Amino acid sequence: MFLNKRSLEIVKLLLKYDKLEILEIEKLLEIKKRTIINNLDSINNFLKSNSLAEIIFENQTLFIRKSDKKLIKNLILIVPLSAEERKDYILIKLLTKNKVVLNHESTLLDISRRTLNYDLETLKLSLKKDNIELYSVPQQGIYMRGDEFNIRKMLTNYLTKYFIEKDKNLKLINNLIESSFGKEELILAKKLALNLIKKLDFLLPPEDFYSIISIYLVSNLRKIYVNKNYINLDFSSLKSEKYFILLKNNGFQDLEYEELFSIINILKNINPDDFDLKYPFIQKATIFLQELEKLLNTKLKITKELLIKVSNGIRIGEFKAKVNISEKIIKKPFEENNNFIFNAVEELIKLQIPNFHSEDILFLAIVIKEALDDFTIHKNLKKNIIIIDNSFDHLYGKLLKNYINTIYNVNIITIIDEYKVDIIHDYHNILDCIITLEELTIDKDIFSYPILKIDLNDLWNSTHILEKSGVIRKYLSK
């Protein structure tokens, strides 16, 4: 017995969040309450057949017991892939191995040859616009060929997606990625990216951090394929040259010029010191704000800071929509009479990018709200946090504070050693959560606040736990 796609989506949501109301699931999955209840019966039958506890349904709210989460997560790792996941798997296999064998893949994916052929035909159509084609060799398999730059770019995007969603990937996809890149190579790529960031005076959002790692890995993987459309790019401008030299001197010297240029564009887009009206996403932001002025029938003060915030919001939101990164549940923080801002931003952005996530629309709406009347809604949304860190002089706690203050809307009240936890009670009226860098030896039940464990060795992934706790991203690097 297996779960269908809808049931699997519901289970994944419940594993991601502590609890969800039926209304929230209705909105996020765009399904009716009756469908959810029917699927809940199927889910519970599936869990019972595997000797696991049922999902709890109380007061119109669904939740999984904490003690059962790991068992259920391990179980769904081996369930068949959805149609979307299947296509992702086949595409990544073609991009990394350059070949799929129908008999082998249909057995591995537990689908018929007919279904696999249908998936491949769908992929052929979507790849055509990027000058990439699939072709078959009798008795051998299906191969990929086409514009090498577009192939590398596509693989970079999908690698970035799966690094971001590492804890949610199915085993089959994780195994494919890990078999394509050696463990040592993955560690080296991460070290190079971290070392690069240490040389900069600004931080990167997770999407950009993992994109740099992916560009490096893809470049090494596809060195045997010559890019026939090689372009001799100009790095002579002052803004590009400083990054070009930085990359060449820090382990990225073997990348193609197009790949170096891609990393440079990431750095230039996120660094306010490199602001330029000619940048494509700055131009997109300018047009977006002009159209929004007409829609809202008002005038915005379009400053450099506003353009940078909006351009990065659109840039990262567009990427997440393009590669279908999992959407988070959000609640609009506006009073009813200000919902028109969110609605206007949603209407305008979805004309261009239909799959643009609600959380990214919310970010843009908050930025517009601030620009309209200097009402700093971020102050009302900031989460008050205490960090527990036992390192000397709170060295690691200060590093974490700098990072999350840059990326997230938070107020770090203080950094304390574990033995001083008693002072936490002094902040009970304002505290939202506790972040710890240690495995606490004290009884966690004495606190009524969420306790979030952050792993400094995997900062970009582990801080996603903040977003699951309702912390909103800034997208601004300074």
Q: Is the pLDDT score of 229 beyond 90?
A: no
Contact by Cβ (8 Å): 208, 270:
yes
Alpha helices in 110-164 (DSSP H): 113-128, 148-164
> 155-171 burial, b if ≥16 CB within 10 A, otherwise e?
bbbbbbbbbbbeeebbe
Q: Which neighbouring-strand residues pair with 145? A: 133
3-state secondary structure of 308: helix
E strands along 332-419, which residues? 383-388, 410-416
Which range has the top average pLDDT, 115-119, 456-460, 472-476? Answer: 115-119
Q: Taking the CA of residue 346 as centre, how many other CA atoms within 13 Å lie in the half-sphere pointing to its CB?
A: 10
Which has the closest alpha carbon to 360: 376, 345, 339, 338? 345
Min mean pLDDT across 11-20, 373-382, 411-420, 440-449 is at: 373-382
pLDDT at residue 474, rounded to an integer: 62
Question: How does residue 336 score in pLDDT terms, banded at 50, 70 and 90?
Answer: low
Beta strand pairing status for 56-58 and 99-100? Answer: unpaired
Euclidean distance between CA atoms 257 and 35, whole angstroms: 51
Q: What is the mean pLDDT of the chain?
A: 82
- Work out the burial of residue 369: count CB atoms within 10 Å of its CB; fewer than 13 is exposed, 13-18 middle, 19 or more buried: buried
Contact by Cβ (8 Å): 298, 372:
yes
Radius of gyration of the chain (CA): 24
Min mean pLDDT across 127-141, 218-232, 283-297, 459-473 is at: 459-473
Sign, CA torsion 367/373/375/376: positive
Please state the length of the chain.
Answer: 478
pLDDT at residue 270, rounded to an integer: 83
DSSP one-letter code for 147: -
pLDDT at residue 475, rounded to an integer: 47
Contact by Cβ (8 Å): 99, 145:
no
Q: Which neighbouring-strand residues pair with 453? A: 436
Contact by Cβ (8 Å): 333, 326:
no
Which has the closest alpha carbon to 384: 332, 419, 333, 429? 429
Min mean pLDDT across 80-84, 229-233, 349-353, 374-378 is at: 374-378
CATH fold for the domain made of 382-468: Rossmann fold (3.40.50)
Which residues are CB-neighbours of 205 under 8 A, at least 6 positions away? Answer: 270, 312, 316, 407, 473, 475
Euclidean distance between CA atoms 162 and 18, whole angstroms: 23
pTM here is: 0.70
Q: Is the pLDDT score of 250 beyond 50?
A: yes
Give residue 247's region: left, alpha or beta (phi > 0; psi -120 to 50).
alpha
3-state secondary structure of 375: coil
pLDDT digit string, tens, across residues 417-457: 887 888 887 887 788 888 988 777 766 666 777 888 887 76
Amino acid (1-letter code) at residue 209:
F
Alpha helices in 165-237 (DSSP H): 171-180, 183-198, 206-221
Torsion of CA 101, 104, 107, 110, to 10 degrees: -40
Which residues are CB-neighbours of 40 under 8 A, at least 6 positions away? Answer: 10, 55, 57, 62
* Matching CATH number, 83-146, of 1.10.10.10, 3.40.50.2300, 1.20.1510.10, 3.30.830.10: 1.10.10.10
Taking residues 267-292, report their average pLDDT.
88
Euclidean distance between CA atoms 408 and 108, whole angstroms: 41
* Matching CATH number, 5-70, of 1.10.3470, 3.40.50, 1.10.10, 1.20.1070: 1.10.10
DSSP 417-448: -GGGGGGGGGGTTT--EEEESS---S-GGG-S
Quickly tell me which residue has 């999407």 as its tokens: 207
pLDDT digit string, tens, across residues 38-93: 889 888 888 888 888 888 888 889 888 888 887 887 776 656 677 788 888 899 99
